[in-house]
Amino acid sequence: MSGNRTMEEAGSRTGLDLTRPSPQPLSPEGRGTFEAGDDEAVSPGLWLPVYTLALRELVRFFRQRTRVVGALGQPIIFWVLFGAGLHGSFRGPGGMSYQEYFFPGVAVMIVMFTAIYSTISIIEDRRDGFLQGVLVAPIPRVSLVLGKVCGGTILAVLQAVVFLAVGPLLSLVGLAPPLETGLTWQNAVAVIGFLALIGFSLTALGYLIAWPMDSTHGFHAIMSVFLMPMWLLSGSFFPAGDSGWLSWVIRLNPLTYGVAGLRRIMTTDAAAVAGLPSLSVCLSVTILAAMAYMTIAIWMTNRPAVHNAR
């Protein structure tokens, strides 16, 4: 990919000489240091557009208060209510309480909601016209994908970290029993890193779903019939067990390995993660899934299409 870009750069540099006009007088107003086609036209490179597009995602997110509340509030309510409701009937691996079992699952849920909802902005950008401005800018299309995905990942990790920090405090006000989350200062960096990996993967998945869509309605439909079950059947909500087809679906779900990896990093109790895939398997599957989603997303975005012109 970078090879292609270099070739294109080289081609354009030849074009640059051809199009250089004879020197023109400056505008009489003096401020017009502007010369038509003065062709200092620099290539923005790969990362400056990524940075600016990701930054835009963050700024937009924090300007929409309802999004902040929605992405964090709903999973916390889930955790508190399901925790309270299923507390009595749940016997977790290693004797953990349901709140403890569900804790990493909710972190993944937050990552999923934030990551995937952040990609809805592609549909809005297309509808509102912003996207066409990006598509005619001289940036590699990879930058567009990476900008969106990095923006979504950062948002997702920020929100999940807020939950991981605030969740245990809910026991102080009686909304949850005292719990052993397994989160320590030692594993914090690994936890955040792994959440970022899951976030990156899920944002890329959201991107490739959102890119071809013209309306957010379709996206919401996919969200409820495909993405929500994907989370439910990832071992976040209940363990896989060994019961027939359901355990197979869970085993085939790439997100299962994200949740399992997070559990493995967070826990110190071997009994609690017995029966889960090993950390190296979890890491490999999650990275492979992220790469697969990214490849499809980049391929879609690179394809010149009538769809791009609205």
List residues binding other proteins (CB under 8 A). 8-9, 11-12, 15-16, 18-19, 21, 24, 27-29, 31-45, 48-49, 51-53, 55-56, 59-60, 63-64, 128-139, 304-306, 308-309
Least distance to other proteins from the beta carbon of 37, Å?
Answer: 3
| R_g (Cα) of the chain, nearest Å | 23
Least distance to other proteins from the beta carbon of 29, Å?
Answer: 7
Query: Which residue, 13 or 217, has its beta carbon nearer to other proteins?
Result: 13
Torsion of CA 259, 265, 271, 277, to 10 degrees: 50
Least distance to other proteins from the beta carbon of 18, Å?
Answer: 5
Least distance to other proteins from the beta carbon of 162, Å?
Answer: 22
Distances (CA, A) of 156 to 153, 201, 241, 297: 5, 11, 29, 19
Are 207 and 119 contacting, i.e. CB atoms less than 8 angstroms apart?
yes
Query: Which residue, 59 or 166, has its beta carbon nearer to other proteins?
Result: 59
Are 203 and 153 contacting, i.e. CB atoms less than 8 angstroms apart?
yes
Phi and psi at residue 245, to the nearest 5°: -60, -35
Query: Which residue, 43 or 74, has its beta carbon nearer to other proteins?
Result: 43
**What's the CA gap between 148 and 203, in Å, rounded?**
8
Query: Which residue, 29 or 242, has its beta carbon nearer to other proteins?
Result: 29
Query: Which residue, 15 or 241, has its beta carbon nearer to other proteins?
Result: 15
Least distance to other proteins from the beta carbon of 69, Å?
Answer: 17
Per DSSP, the residues of 248-298 read: HHHHH-HHHHHHHHHHHHH---GGGGTTSPPHHHHHHHHHHHHHHHHHHHH
Query: Which residue, 97 or 121, has its beta carbon nearer to other proteins?
Result: 121
Are 200 and 290 contacting, i.e. CB atoms less than 8 angstroms apart?
yes
Return the number of other C-beta atoms located less than 10 Å from residue 145's C-beta. 25
**What's the CA gap between 31 and 42, in Å, rounded?**
21
Least distance to other proteins from the beta carbon of 221, Å?
Answer: 25
Query: Which residue, 173 or 306, has its beta carbon nearer to other proteins?
Result: 306
Sign of CA dihedral 211, 215, 218, 221: positive
Query: Which residue, 3 or 304, has its beta carbon nearer to other proteins?
Result: 304
Least distance to other proteins from the beta carbon of 166, Å?
Answer: 27
Least distance to other proteins from the beta carbon of 52, Å?
Answer: 4
**What's the CA gap between 73 and 85, in Å, rounded?**
18
